[in-house]
Structure 1
């Protein structure tokens, strides 16, 4: 049975690249209240999602639903729940216009405006909040970023110190403390700034992060030896920007050979444009400056990005992760890693139009990253935007014609759209590029091409690919199921085919699609009694699937349980199957009207045979053994 999804190449991409962030896929909670933003602890997941009792929330701060605010406020809240940041910003702005002194509404507007990318407007609002004599942690953060953007380092230091920043104290705020250290550097107090970084590094849990920024600060003031010593610790700067920093610093120390060796040891170097450019300059002897951090604003941008990455990596992602990433872009528009983080966070929240703006900016900057593009292609496909996904895949293959994963992604998109014959050449190209690769890197491509070939009516070639994939990955349930069912469907290798499907069930006993295949294989072989148990289990695991309910009805009919068969057929119809799907609703109605036996005889007499379900095609399945 077919599972409709996009088969991308997680297994093949493993270890190829290492993105700076891995945003979890989750809806962003409603805007936090001002008191939540002022608390240095993360917002509890239940409270952030609005699961706190309504009575308690009302006692803490009544919802501003008076004086004409109800409509815009409720619309803003709904838009926030749906992650529609543009709409949320519009409605919160309307609410703020009605009550310009309400900090809760102002903070909600700030969250929405920054999330939507309108940081300019958020900066104006933060200034208004300060002029009113108020302020929240978020509004103050926005003001500080604006001071850094304009290079007002003395003003930034004063702002932070007026807030009682204690970078090394018991109540120290790490973000503010490190921002103050960068601001001190900008104000010309280099020795005090470096001492401040070192003081914060005494906290063992955050020492690697602080040491990374200390290394950047030392390099910026010309202390390359000190910076290199700090970055030699592999726990520090273990990301793309950290590698760039180490290479640039080694060059300043006239250790170009070490810098080249460092780059050559990076897995997936060829797919990182910045690293490729650095390697070419090293090989040709071109001058390389330390320009990763040219001003304290660049350092603060990386600081914000560090916090955004940490917040996004939580099981329950903080709503502030996107805000920190957006503010990092505000300070350093050319920082590709920050734009990529913004794009990934927006993509994970189904804000594809906003994400596309960031991906387009990355392309203009020449920083198209294959792993990010593959993730983007998958997200577009899952959002049922196949034209955009296909266009992105074609762009990726054009930019990286030697990258097999790009061709597999293109093949997957074409196959998902049932363009099976067109998908085959894409997989052919991928497998030619993988000719010298390890077997584990090839099984998925063989499997995917085998599916495309089988659906295109080229079963002899498909069989060879599926067998090749099984030889490499003999414990992959969906693969075993696909070939086993294909054989039984063709009345070929019946015993071995059934053996493969049974093994698939053993490996994945709760997979309703594979259980359906086993039951339908028994049905195909006329072993109706044996088909009952796996099909009932399939229905139990996928109770609202019209296909399995229809199948169970057919099986019940064949064992003489006509009344139960009719119940299952009616149940299948209740899920509104369409003629373009795997279940023909008119055929189900014919079975209800005249019985399955009569329908089968009519089909046989007319020379028509009802199509059997396709084998399950979950070609993006992760290997069961973790390989």
Structure 2
């Protein structure tokens, strides 16, 4: 939405290549700086520059829309509101302005103001306007009218799930838990199947004195998840506590639920910047709703606004059941920002406080593994596997990841056992087949089995994974089937043209079939792609240079490796 609200200009994108290109000390400079920042999804800077531009040209409709949109993206509804009112006062149709004014009406619980509003001329969209209208009726004391409005919306094509979900929430708000549960029980819509919908239903069932059914419904939705928030609810239900209905406690909360549920639906089809505005408005109407907070943080992370995202994650109180989820989200922003040591520190603190959560240890293992701290990563995966229930989804990956750390520590017997355990849990998994097959090739053992594994991995990925196609070419090379290897290695280079290892492998294969000049060209290409600061163990620039000097045969002899030999060579 941010981008769609920007005024189009004839300026080419080359004008916006550097943050220092424009000076913001004039109307045009401030506007261009704001536009440039908006293109980068830098909402903090764009809101600042647009505000500065608008101060110099306060009647500029385009600048008003841009400023509203970026202020909404920052969650500063109070700053967007005066501009939105001015824009509406000019009779301008602006979705961003209408969203701001409408959200303010619900924040003030001015339900009659909304009901008297001409939403066809100044609304957000048919679905949102209809749902908000129903909640406004309930807020104004017209409960039967509101419920009827939900029914009316449910008759419209594609809107039934939304309408009945909100009707179930409204019925629970009014204390009619029987009718609310009837909807939850009969309508398996997408919102009812969400985490939020399942927890709301559990609260409804508890209000009906059906705690056992509430526990069963939670386990049907989430299994025996160790998620602290779910665990707290399950423990309370098991103890016989009556769970209060907390998901919607007022018509204002209902409006927040509208913006939140629409944001969730938009994620699959709309841009993250547009979806972010709905999530921000949900938080504005209900600041304590942690689900909306986590969605805002996640969207900001998706938009690569890592500092903003991390700051939102930090707003989750340390005593909230979702605190660990927020901290795991913050770990992601720290990693993406290059602050890996800080991410590890957060995870280590989480491991002390939430030592019984497998996901904390597995995430710590992932970060340590990516930092080549393999022994520590192995320990983290050990704890994650010990804490993971038998048969839990994703267990195969824990064994796969631990196998990698063991392989890198030359503990091959344990590593191979973990790879094979991962395949037992997830037969045919291409990543595992490829890594195990490639490792067997590098160790020059069980080559026929390695070839079979890698061929399965290629088939499973339709030959579109460069790494796996490279593995197939490489095992054929190791088996002495050089002519067969050529086509696969060339395909791998097509898929990964700037990967140093793949280009180096193609050079070796070319050399093996006598195409020595092409081999030298590939080694030079591979050498040019090596990052001197991130040299992989396989991408050995010194070895590439030596091959360029004396050829592959001499290098193999110097290394004490067997000479090249064609598989069907009889002497």
Query: 2:140 pairs with 178, 181, 187, which one?
Result: 187
| Per-residue Cα deviation, 1:439-484 (whole angstroms, up to 9, x for no partner) | 8754322222111111012112112222333344442233223223
Q: Tell me by how many angstroms 1:73 deviates.
A: 2.4
Counting only pairs closer than 5 Å after superposition, residues 17-96 of structure 1 correspond to structure 2 as 30-32=3-5, 68-96=26-54
Contact 1:515 1:534 in 2 (8 A): yes
Q: How far apart, CA to CA, are the structure 2 residues paired with 1:461 and 1:256? A: 45
Alignment of 1:21-420 (within 5 A): 30-32=3-5, 68-130=26-88, 134=92, 136-158=94-116, 160-161=117-118, 173-235=126-188, 237-268=192-223, 270-314=225-269, 316-317=270-271, 319-364=273-318, 366-368=320-322, 377=331, 381=335, 384-420=338-374
Alignment CA distance shift 1:210-1:423 (3 Å): same
Please, which runs of 5 or more residues in structure 1 have no aligned partner? 1-27, 35-49, 55-66, 610-627
Counterparts in 2 of 1:537-548, with a 5 A limit?
537-548=491-502
Please say if 1:487 is aligned against 2:445.
no
1:301, 1:288 → 2: CA distance?
A: 21
Aligned to 2:21: none
Structure 1 residues 251-260 or 135-144, which shifts more?
251-260
Kept in 2: contact 1:519–1:532 (CA 8 A): yes
| Distance in 2 (alpha carbons) for counterparts of 1:357 and 1:110 | 22
Please say if residues 347 and 376 of structure 1, whose CA atoms lie closer than 8 Å, have aligned partners that are also in contact: no
State whether residues 314 and 326 of structure 2, in contact with CA within 8 Å, keep that contact through their aligned partners in structure 1: no
Alpha-carbon distance change, 52 to 440 in structure 1, aligned in 2, over 3 angstroms: farther
CA separation of 1:589 and 1:330: change in aligned 2, threshold 3 A: same
CA contact (8 A) 1:440 1:472 kept: no
Q: Is the 8 A contact 1:215 1:230 kept in 2?
A: yes
Structure 2 CA distance for partners of 1:526 and 1:371, relative to 1, 3 Å:
farther
Q: How does 1:562-577 map to 2 (within 5 A)?
A: 562-577=516-531
Distance 1:235 1:157 in 2: 31
Alpha-carbon offset, residue 423 of structure 1: 1.1
Kindly tell me: are residues 255 and 422 of structure 1, through their superposed partners in 2, closer, same or farther at Cα, counting changes over 3 Å? Answer: closer
Q: Which runs of 5+ in 2 are unaligned?
A: 13-24, 562-571
Among 537, 541, 558, the alignment partner of 1:585 is 541
| Deviation larger for 421-430 or 251-260 | 251-260
Superposed CA deviations along residues 398-456 of structure 1, whole A, max 9, x for unmatched, are 4543333332222222111111111111122222234x612875432222211111101
CA–CA separation in structure 2 for the residues paired with 1:525 and 1:579: 33
Alpha-carbon deviation of 1:600? 4.8
Determine if contact 1:165/1:177 at 8 Å carries over to the other structure: no
Structure-2 separation of matches of 1:260 and 1:499 = 46
Contact 1:336 1:367 in 2 (8 A): no
1:588/1:340 Cα in 2 relative to 1: closer, same or farther (>3 Å)?
same
Equivalent position SS for 1:361: coil
Q: Higher relative contact order at CA 8 Å, sep ≥6: structure 1 or structure 2?
A: 1
| TM-superposed deviation, 1:579 | 6.4
> 1:320: how far off?
2.6
2:404 aligns with: 451
What SS is found at the alignment partner of 2:179? helix
Residues 73-122 of structure 1: CA deviation (Å, up to 9, x unaligned)? 23222222221111111122122122211222111111111112322222
Q: Tell me how large the CA RMSD over aligned residues is.
A: 3.5
Number of residue-to-residue matches in the alignment: 547
Q: Secondary structure at the match of 1:205?
A: coil
- Greater CA drift, 97-106 or 203-212: 203-212
TM-score by length of 1: 0.77
Structure 1 residues 556 and 442, CA, compared in 2 at 3 Å: closer, same or farther?
same
Residue 357 of structure 1 and its aligned partner are, at CA, apart by 2.3
User: 2 CA distance for matches of 1:489 and 1:261?
Assistant: 50
Match of 1:16 in 2: none
Contact 1:114–1:122, Cα closer than 8 Å, also in 2: yes
Aligned counterpart, 1:476: 429
Could you tell me whether the CA contact under 8 Å between 1:431 and 1:445 is conserved in 2?
Answer: yes
Question: Are 1:513 and 2:486 counterparts?
Answer: no
**How has the CA–CA distance of structure 1 residues 482 and 228 changed in structure 2, closer, same or farther, with 3 Å as cutoff?**
closer
